[in-house]
């Protein structure tokens, strides 16, 4: 998708949301299936001015919803009956090179976004504490040094994908994945337990930051909830 097409879809999405709100229909219909789109754990405008409301509405209500709907469409196929009984965690961990692309992409998209929403929030910002802070300092030397390496990884992920801070044993490290892959997948080049992630697909930031990915990466430090991220490390 080129940027002109993205803006056209984004603006159309904004119009749809405005229309549905005016008639009181705030919750988009979901495709039937085992996987559900949970509401955002905060108001869509709560991350302003760092991440704008329109982006959050489209990101969650359009993009994330599409991953859930498309995943459910795959789950009704007889050959996927076993997968349909799995939790999203178990399904993602089972994904390997033989997994059909629609399942790999949409299961990854659903897991990644659900995880992301639950590591950010209006009470974000500041710095990690406790054991996580110690692990970051041990690995990178300081929190500021970690932020520099994180920014490099985000800038270095060509095209669409995610940047992750993962736990391996008692240590942490930064990695990135293409598209909607993540470090839990059996096919991941670098495996580990995700502690935090950043969506660097253009749909995550283009309305506000256009092609200025580094500005978005910097702004995201204001929304990371270190209490939640710290619990992922425990």
What DSSP string describes 56-76? HHHIIIIIIHHHHHHHHHHHT
Asked whether residue 36 carries a pLDDT value surpassing 90, the answer given is yes
First-to-last alpha carbon distance for the chain, in angstroms, is: 39
Average pLDDT value over all residues in the chain: 90
Binding residues: 59, 113, 199, 203
* Topology annotation, domain 51-233: minor pseudopilin epsh fold (3.55.40)
Domain ranges of the chain: 51-233
Token pair of 88 as six digits? 């999203």
- Is 86 exposed, middle or buried (CB count within 10 Å of its CB: 0-12, 13-18, 19+)? middle
Mean pLDDT, residues 76-103: 98
- Confidence band of 9 (pLDDT split at 50, 70, 90): very low
60-85 pLDDT, tens digit each: 999 999 999 999 999 999 999 999 99
Binding residues for Mn(2+): 59, 113, 199, 203
What's the Cα-to-Cα distance from 150 to each of 90, 138, 173, rounded to whole Å? 28, 15, 10
pLDDT at 13: 44
Higher pLDDT pick, 28 / 212 = 212
Asked whether residue 225 carries a pLDDT value surpassing 60, the answer given is yes
pLDDT at 200: 98
Mean pLDDT, residues 141-153: 99
Asked whether residue 22 carries a pLDDT value surpassing 70, the answer given is no
Asked whether residue 21 carries a pLDDT value surpassing 60, the answer given is no
Asked whether residue 199 carries a pLDDT value surpassing 60, the answer given is yes
110-130 pLDDT, tens digit each: 999 999 999 999 999 999 999
DSSP 79: G
Asked whether residue 12 carries a pLDDT value surpassing 60, the answer given is no
């Amino acid at each position: 998708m080129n940027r002109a097409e993205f803006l056209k879809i984004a603006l159309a999405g904004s119009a749809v949301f405005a229309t549905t709100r005016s008639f009181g229909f705030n919750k988009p219909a979901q495709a039937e299936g085992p996987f559900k789109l949970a509401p955002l754990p905060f108001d869509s405008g709560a991350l302003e001015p760092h991440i704008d409301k329109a982006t959050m509405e489209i990101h969650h209500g359009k993009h994330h919803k599409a991953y859930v709907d498309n995943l459910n469409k795959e789950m009704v196929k007889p050959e996927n009956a076993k997968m349909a009984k799995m939790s999203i965690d178990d399904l993602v961990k089972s994904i390997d090179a033989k997994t059909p692309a629609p399942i790999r992409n949409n299961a990854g998209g659903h897991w990644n976004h659900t995880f992301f929403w639950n590591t950010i929030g209006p009470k974000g910002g500041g710095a990690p504490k406790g054991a996580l802070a110690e692990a970051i300092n041990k690995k990178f030397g300081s929190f500021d040094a970690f932020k520099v390496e994180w920014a490099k990884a985000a800038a270095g992920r060509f095209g669409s994908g995610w940047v992750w801070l993962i736990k391996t044993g008692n240590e942490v490290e930064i990695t990135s994945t293409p598209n909607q892959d993540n470090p839990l997948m059996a096919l991941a080049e670098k495996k580990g337990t995700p502690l935090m992630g950043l969506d660097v697909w253009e749909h995550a930031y283009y309305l506000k930051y256009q092609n200025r990915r580094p500005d978005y990466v910097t702004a995201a430090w204001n929304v990371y909830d270190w209490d939640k991220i710290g619990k992922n490390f425990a």
